[in-house]
Structure formats: C-alpha cells, structure tokens
Amino acid sequence: MNIHFHEPPPAQKLGGLDAAIRSMEAALRALGHTVLVNPTDYREPPNVVHFHGLWQRGYPALAARAGKASVPVIVSPHGMLEPWALNHKRWKKLPYFHLIEKRWLARAACILATAEPEGARLRELLPATRIESIPLGLTSDARPDYTAARAALGWREEETVLLYLSRIHEKKGLDLLLTALAGAEQKANTRLVIVGPEEQPAFAQKCRLLAERHAMNLPRIDWLGPVWGDERFRYFQGADLFCLPTHSENFGLVVLESLQVGTPVLTTTGTPWGSLTPPSGYIAEPRADSLQAQLTRFFKTPTLTESQRATIAESTRAIYHWDTLGRRYESLYKSL
C-alpha cells in the first residue's frame, strides 16, 4: 500500500507524539508499505491518508482532496479530543471544533483511538463515525539495564529514585506529585529526578516554589531539563519508580517506555493504564491525597529484583511490539 501521513509541525509533536508516529512509520515500512510524510501532491496516488493530531488549518482541505479522489481518510486525534484537552482554552477550541473540525472528522472513514477509553469518548462526540482502537507500540528496543544505568547516571545503590519524565505542564500534574511526596512515608535516601521541558514557565515556577515550601519534607530533587532520543531510556532503566501523575492521557507513551525496561509506574485513572497492579504499577486518582497513599504503598514494597523487572519487560513486549501491532494497523488500512 501507498500510505500518506499528515502530521503537525515539529514543534507541536516534539517528544512522545513524534516517537510514536516514527515507530509506526517504521513498522509499516518493514511490512513492505510505502509511507510518505506530509506529501504536497498525489503523484503517487495513496491507498489511504492518515492524519495525526488535530487543530491544523490545512487538514480540512487535505481531507477534502482525499475525498474527491475517493481515498479513505483515517484520523488519530492522539488525545486532542479528550475532555481535559478540550476544556483547556475551551473558549477557542470548542467553537473551532463545532464550526470546522467536527465537519471534516465526520466525513472520515475511521477515527482511530489509542485505547478503548478514548474510543468511548470519541463515539460520544462523533456517534455516526466508525471508531476503532489500536494502541501505540514500542518506540525503542531498550530493555532492562538497571545497574549499568544507575552507574552511568551517578545514582547510588542505596538510593530509591523516583523519576518524572514528561513536559512540565499543568496537565501532567507535577504539582500533585510534589504535594503527595511531601506527605508520604518515604524511604531513607530517596531522590526525585525531574526530566522534561518547562513548557509552561509559570507553572514550572509554581512547582519550584512548591518544592521550596515543602523542602523539609521532600527528598533531594534534581531538575534536569529536557532529555530527548534514546538517552531518555537510561533514566527509565535506572529508576525505581516512574511517576506520571497526569490529569489526562489518551495513551501515555512514557508509561509504556518505562514498563518495557521493567520499571514500575505510578500513574492515575486519567490514563488507560488502570489495570496495572503492583509490582508493575500503582494507580491513583489525579489528586494529591490519592497519590500520597500509593507512594506510601510503594515505599513499603521491597526493591524489585532483576527477575521481576525482566518479567514486567517481557510481558510488555509481548503486547506492544510492532511485530504484532503493525499487522493490526495494516489490517485496518486494508479494511478501509
């Protein structure tokens, strides 16, 4: 098949979204398909056009062009129609959605969710449109490497390292994590490592001030800024717990990236990872008190063995490797 991908500008897909799309592209190419990214013409007529993300002014016209050529259109909103996302700056998003976005989405052959909870919400917004759910896959071949990663990062053996690796944005809930950690029964020699771009400077400053106010009850905090590419996996590999205290995620690719290297996850019911249980995961409501209770639960649990980490990693790979998922995307395209 000849597949066209239409994607947002680089600045709007930096990080997880770009990694997810690139791994999907690689999987489809490995199956023998041609994938063109943001093509400007139909010199090589596509069999299907796949739009990634929303809120792009050129998308409705591109979708209309595909429709005129009888080419099926599939759209992956990538969480941009989740309730939290719609309510953020709703004064401009909702009018634009109902006047423009909803019209071209309603004509799509399929809207693709990354998890069934997102799919259910999309069916409420677009009840007459075909909605399917296929998860995202592994973005790297990284595997467990706990001891070597900690040595490379300078983390001591006796430390319990909590990792926050995401955008510093109010949606991601770093303020909730800081408040929860200040009230939790911590292990001695705990360290919180914060990795990510300060996408909202005012919110980042709020978090720093919060950390200062609770300094007596918080562990050592390392504010490291953004880390991109495969280097980020060293942090996942060496951490004892990855924390994503988010208000809302359609998928939560970083959760998958942590699990694939055997590191357990603390996240919230705002993600589709609610089925995780210890030792793989700890699920809280997106509130400081609920996160605090799960942190206390984690601190009372012994450090995972290499065997336990390997089990988490292998079970994750079995479900989310592109050898499996690529065929599902291929089958969906063919069905359209």
CA distance 268 to 277: 12
User: What CA–CA distance (Å, rounded) separates 293 from 305?
Assistant: 23
pLDDT at 12 over 80: no
The structural domains of the chain, with segments of one domain joined by +, span 2-137+321-335, 146-319
DSSP 99: I
> Residue 42: phi, psi to the nearest 5?
-110, 40
What is the per-residue pLDDT for 295? 98
Dihedral of alpha carbons 313, 314, 316, 320, sign? positive
Domains 2-137+321-335 and 146-319 share a fold: yes
Q: Which CATH number fits domain 2-137+321-335: 3.40.50.2000, 3.40.630.10, 3.40.640.10, 3.20.20.70?
A: 3.40.50.2000
Phi–psi pair at 268, nearest 5 degrees? -125, 170
Domain 146-319 superfamily per CATH: Glycogen Phosphorylase B; (3.40.50.2000)
Give per-residue pLDDT as tens, 321-332: 999 999 999 999
Give me the DSSP letters along 200-259.
Answer: SHHHHHHHHHHHHHTGGGS-EEEEEE---GGGHHHHHHH-SEEEE--S--SS-HHHHHHH
Helix axes 322-335, 306-320, angle to 10 degrees: 20
Label residue 233 by pLDDT band (50, 70, 90). Answer: very high
pLDDT at 253: 95
Residue 85 has pLDDT above 90, yes or no: no
Phi-psi category of residue 305: left, alpha or beta, with phi > 0 → left and psi -120 to 50 → alpha: beta
Taking a C-beta distance cutoff of 8 angstroms, is the pair 73, 107 a contact? yes
- Cross-strand bridge partners of residue 27: none
pLDDT in tens, 160-186: 999 999 999 999 999 999 999 999 999
Spatial separation of the C-alpha atoms in residues 271 and 246, rounded to whole Å: 8
Query: Taking 90 as the threshold, does the pLDDT of residue 4 lie above it?
Result: yes
Q: Is the pLDDT of residue 91 over 90?
A: no
The proportion of the chain whose per-residue pLDDT surpasses 90, expressed as a percent, equals 88
* pTM (predicted TM-score): 0.94
